[in-house]
Amino acid sequence: MRRRRAATAALLVLAVGCIVDTSVEACAPAATCATPGLSPGAALPTLAILAAAAAVLLGIGVVRAMRATETAATALRRLVVPTPSGVRAAAATLSLPPVLCIEGDIRTALCAGGLRPRIFVSRALVLELSSEELRAVLIHEARHARRRDPLRRQVRQSVAAALFFAPLVRWWAERQAIRDELRADRAAIEACGPEPLARALLLTAPGPARAAAAIDGAASVRVSHLLGEAVELPTPVHVRLLSVGALLAAALVTFCSAAAVVGFR
């Protein structure tokens, strides 16, 4: 947190320095100040540099997300044990991605993997669930797998990490993760009703992998959703204001840097 604040402060200082430097050079040596601007020949290269930088950052984020999701899936595959008959029977009645059972005392179910996500269910959870509860859990995770939610989540987290100075982006990433869970819950509720999923949710513990979409995510909001209560995810005003200011500062610094490269001023 301290590093993020220090980096954000440095960004603001650079933005102020960019404004001051541009103003000084625009005014000197003439007595009157001319309005600084890009020449027609410099505008296009500057925009091209900005677009290229954005594309590179997005590409890096996607590559990092792919690596994180596959690393999580690989770690979970090391824990795979023979699939219990109850899981095979439940999966046989549904159109599901591969379902694997993992060893361990943690009661959890999750979806992990990048382009080809898999469903992982712990043996401890399987032993506690009824057939209908297990079916609800598998439908929930299948929804995550079909939408490739683990990869989506990691991409959003990578973008939020790159734009650390804009808290609105991190807020957006967290809210999207909650919406992923609510969408998966709705799929399970439509097939099994709310009771089996609610009972399964009460049994789950935090999952073993971060780069995954797990049944235990956003529990308090999901309980409200299962009870039929309206779920609201408001964005605080101060988060919006701080983010707008930080993004403008970042855009200004990036613009000044790109303009300097193509011979602005």
Say if 239 falls within a structural domain.
no
How far apart (Å, rounded) are the C-alpha atoms in residues 137 and 139? 5
**How many percent of the chain have pLDDT more than 70?**
58
Least confident stretch, 12-21, 68-77, 233-242: 12-21
Least confident stretch, 34-43, 76-85, 246-255: 34-43
pLDDT interval class at 119 (50, 70, 90): very high
Q: Which pLDDT value is given to residue 251?
A: 62
pLDDT interval class at 171 (50, 70, 90): confident
Amino acid occupying residue 91: A
Say if 4 falls within a structural domain.
no
Q: Which pLDDT value is given to residue 107?
A: 87
Task: Print the domain residue range for 150.
Answer: 26-234
Q: What are the φ/ψ torsions at residue 113 (nearest 5 degrees)?
A: 125, 160
DSSP SS3 for 47: helix
Cis-peptide, bond into residue 29, ω within 30° of zero: yes
Amino acid occupying residue 202: L
**Distance between the two ends of the chain, CA-based, in angstroms?**
37
Q: What is the pLDDT of residues 185-226, one digit of tens each?
A: 999 999 999 899 888 888 876 666 556 666 656 666 777 767
> What does pTM read for this prediction?
0.71
Q: Which pLDDT value is given to residue 236?
A: 62
How far apart (Å, rounded) are the C-alpha atoms in residues 212 and 110? 6
Q: How wide is the angle at C-alpha 1 spanned by C-alphas 180 and 177, nearest 5°? A: 0
Residues 6+ positions from 9 with CB-CB distance below 8 Å: none
CB 197 within 8 A of CB 136: yes
Say if 254 falls within a structural domain.
no
DSSP SS3 for 107: coil
Say if 219 falls within a structural domain.
yes
Q: Is the dihedral of CA 90, 92, 95, 97 positive or negative?
A: positive
Q: Which pLDDT value is given to residue 255?
A: 61
Number of domains in the chain: 1
Q: Which pLDDT value is given to residue 25?
A: 45
Choose between 14 and 74: higher pLDDT: 74
Q: What is the pLDDT of residues 33-58, one digit of tens each?
A: 444 444 444 455 655 666 676 677 77
Q: What are the φ/ψ torsions at residue 164 (nearest 5 degrees)?
A: -60, -25
How far apart (Å, rounded) are the C-alpha atoms in residues 108 and 122? 6
Say if 30 falls within a structural domain.
yes
Say if 224 falls within a structural domain.
yes
